[in-house]
Amino acid sequence: MTDNLIFMDPFPRNEAMVYTPSCAAALAQMGRVVAHWGSRAPDDLVEAHLADMTILVGQTAMPKHRLDRAPKLRAILNVKANWEDNVDYAECHARGIQVLSAAPAMAPAVAEFCLTQAITLLRRLHLADPVFRAGSEAYGIGGNAGAKSLFGADVAMIGYGNLGRALAPLLRPFGVRLMVHDPWLSDGYLRTEGVEPVSLETALSGSDVLFLLAGVMSDNEGFLGRPLLETIRADATVVLASQAEIVDFDEFLSLAGAGAFRAAVDVYPEEPVPEASRIRNTPNVLFSAHLAGGLHASYARIRDTMLDDIGQILKGLPPLRMQKADPKLAAKMRSR
């Protein structure tokens, strides 16, 4: 047993997600584990272990005054797969404390879900089942009124982070024109990724299929308001799969409900969505309840990447699999 203290505070993740028996056994080989489940760890529990904490797994608030009392801390691993504004990222960077996110582990499942939503909307599969059950189906071309194909389509992504990079390889076999708008990435970099850098206006008005994948930051919340949403190509397929706060959600639903474009929505400004919310009565939208990433396979990847990178860090080596926080970017994020 080493003298490393691994502090587990992963809420809203639970033991089944990030602390299976095999994972617990692996962590026990790396150090002494203190774990809290069911809520964020109370302040007194965190404070009692700051002086000895080597690895922090979770979304615990770590402002500078706590970092000052955690001289042994070498890494903070966010297993919720986002960045929260309760960590002093600049101070961590200055002290050589690795701040990591499990977001890359969630991306494959979310990308798969995005592709499924897009094809479902394009082929109108969500409408075919109730028509068949009612006995009013039409066969072949007669039942394909309004159906479209992904093959050869103009496809755009707004945002090209972990999710965009996982989605792009799934789209390429369809021979699409693949455009990306991401103001944080250079045109040269995007071209090396095999995608076409475009303006926001081109992404919105020039695509048959539009994936809204950007994260919400302090300076872009609600940036897709009605004037921009109205420029989306008529009858385009729009998949909102990252964070609802990047759009004016009411206006987005208003336009989609009126049939301006086809829309699939998996994320909401408030979750769970209130039972009486008008969202539930919006027509012409394919809704799901934040299902994209929440698979057992995703949590297995989180555990694997977490164990790998903790092992690397405790050996004095750089982490390899989780996403490293950029202090400037992470501090601007407004993830829930």
Confidence (pLDDT) at 19: 98
Confidence (pLDDT) at 331: 74
- Average pLDDT estimate for 26-45: 98
Domain 5-104+296-332 has CATH 2.60.40.3080: no
Q: Which CATH architecture has domain 105-287?
A: 3-Layer(aba) Sandwich (3.40)
- Average pLDDT estimate for 300-304: 98
20 against 217, higher pLDDT: 20
| Helices first, then strands: H and E counts in the chain | 14, 13
Distances (CA, A) of 239 to 48, 50, 158, 256: 45, 42, 11, 11
Confidence (pLDDT) at 301: 98
- Average pLDDT estimate for 57-77: 98
The pLDDT mean for the chain works out to 96
Condensed to tens digits (0 to 9), the pLDDT of residues 129-165 reads 999 999 999 999 999 999 999 999 999 999 999 999 9
Residue 328 pLDDT > 90: no
Residue 335 pLDDT > 80: no
Residue 22 pLDDT > 90: yes
> What are the extents of the domains in the chain?
5-104+296-332, 105-287
Confidence (pLDDT) at 177: 98
Work out the percent of the chain whose per-residue pLDDT is above 70: 98
Confidence (pLDDT) at 2: 72
Q: What share of the chain is helix, strand, coil (3-state, %, to 5)?
A: 40, 15, 40
3-state secondary structure at position 179 = strand
Query: What's the CA gap between 269 and 115, in Å, rounded?
Result: 22
Confidence (pLDDT) at 336: 58
Query: What's the CA gap between 153 and 335, in Å, rounded?
Result: 32
Residue 320: pLDDT band (50, 70, 90) is: very high
Condensed to tens digits (0 to 9), the pLDDT of residues 231-289 reads 999 999 999 988 999 999 999 999 999 999 999 999 999 999 999 999 999 999 999 99
Condensed to tens digits (0 to 9), the pLDDT of residues 81-123 reads 889 899 999 999 999 999 999 999 999 999 999 999 999 999 9
- Average pLDDT estimate for 41-68: 98
Residue 334: pLDDT band (50, 70, 90) is: low
- DSSP for 12-65? TS-HHHH--HHHHHHHHHHSEEEE--SSSPPHHHHHHHGGGEEEEEE---B-HH
Decide if 5-104+296-332 and 105-287 have a common fold: yes
